A and B are shown apart, each in its own frame.
Chain A
Amino acid sequence: ETGVTQTPRHLVMGMTNKKSLKCEQHLGHNAMYWYKQSAKKPLELMFVYNFKEQTENNSVPSRFSPECPNSSHLFLHLHTLQPEDSALYLCASSQDFEGSTEAFFGQGTRLTVV
């Protein structure tokens, strides 16, 4: 139990679908992150939220839309995705957005776009 929960664990969606990934943490952390892990590639940081405010968008296409309604929840809304968007999407949280704090990861959502 890492304290960071992601749902769903697996998702298959068509290119015209709209779906959302959910992340929840009960660690009292103030920073939350979305990462993308594609096969044989480094983890790619997508978005950063610090105290519910988006502080970083790492040149992510607009078909990915994050939402952070409070410091415990983070969503990633998906629409009109492409097959190359198939990957493992990981949510993480940390105490705050500083260099010397470890990030705790969820188990990820395995997304397949067909």
Chain B
Amino acid sequence: DQQVKQNSPSLSVQEGRISILNCDYTNSMFDYFLWYKKYPAEGPTFLISISSIKDKNEDGRFTVFLNKSAKHLSLHIVPSQPGDSAVYFCAASDSWGKLQFGAGTQVVVTP
């Protein structure tokens, strides 16, 4: 049973524009959410996180929004840059610490 879902397998965005990645979850016990970025032939690297007590966290060009009532979070990247082309994984964790990952969204930033 997949508890974290990224329904868009790919996203193409023009350089300088905003990239919006979406993630939905089903387990109401999740209280911590993370986004990871993965380049080919590399392991995922941590990007940004948000606790369930917040609804927004911002770090430079990256902002994560959490809507607990909708069990939905999103990652905004603005402005998008060519180096942002990668696979982005949404992950969620409950108090037991086990991370559940989505299937990933491939982002391609075009010139």
Interface residues of A (CB under 8 A from B): 2, 4, 6, 31, 40-43, 45, 48, 56, 90, 92, 94, 96-108, 110
Measured CB to CB, the closest approach of chain B to A90, in angstroms, equals 5
Chain A residues near B34: list those with CB within 8 A. 102
**B94 contacts partner chain A, Cβ-Cβ < 8 Å:** yes
B43 near A41 (CB under 8 angstroms)? no
B43 near A4 (CB under 8 angstroms)? yes
Known contacts A40-B103, A43-B89: A99-B43 contact under CB 8 Å = no
B43 near A107 (CB under 8 angstroms)? yes
Other-chain contact of A102, B4, B42, B49, B96 (Cβ < 8 Å): B49
Other-chain contact of B45, A97, A99, A105, A108 (Cβ < 8 Å): A105
Chain B residues near A105: list those with CB within 8 A. 36, 43-45
Cα-based distance from A31 to B97 in the complex (angstroms)? 10
A45 near B99 (CB under 8 angstroms)? yes
Known contacts A42-B2, A43-B89, A45-B98: A99-B31 contact under CB 8 Å = yes
* Residue of B whose beta carbon sits closest to that of A56: B98
Q: Mark B1-43, 1 if CB is under 8 A from A, else 0.
A: 0101000010000000000000000000001101010000111
Measured CB to CB, the closest approach of chain B to A7, in angstroms, equals 13
* Residue of A whose beta carbon sits closest to that of B5: A42
Cα-based distance from A105 to B42 in the complex (angstroms)? 9
B42 near A107 (CB under 8 angstroms)? yes
Please report the total number of B residues contacting A with Cβ < 8 Å.
29
Interface residues of B in 85-102 (CB under 8 A from A): 89, 91, 93-102
**B63 contacts partner chain A, Cβ-Cβ < 8 Å:** no
B4 near A42 (CB under 8 angstroms)? yes
Other-chain contact of B101, A42, A97, A99, A104 (Cβ < 8 Å): A42
Interface residues of B in 36-58 (CB under 8 A from A): 36, 41-46, 49, 51
Chain B residues near A96: list those with CB within 8 A. 97
A40 near B9 (CB under 8 angstroms)? yes
* Residue of A whose beta carbon sits closest to that of B87: A37
Measured CB to CB, the closest approach of chain A to B97, in angstroms, equals 4
A-B contact pairs, 9 of them (CB 8 A): A2-B43, A42-B2, A56-B98, A97-B97, A99-B93, A100-B93, A102-B34, A105-B44, A108-B41
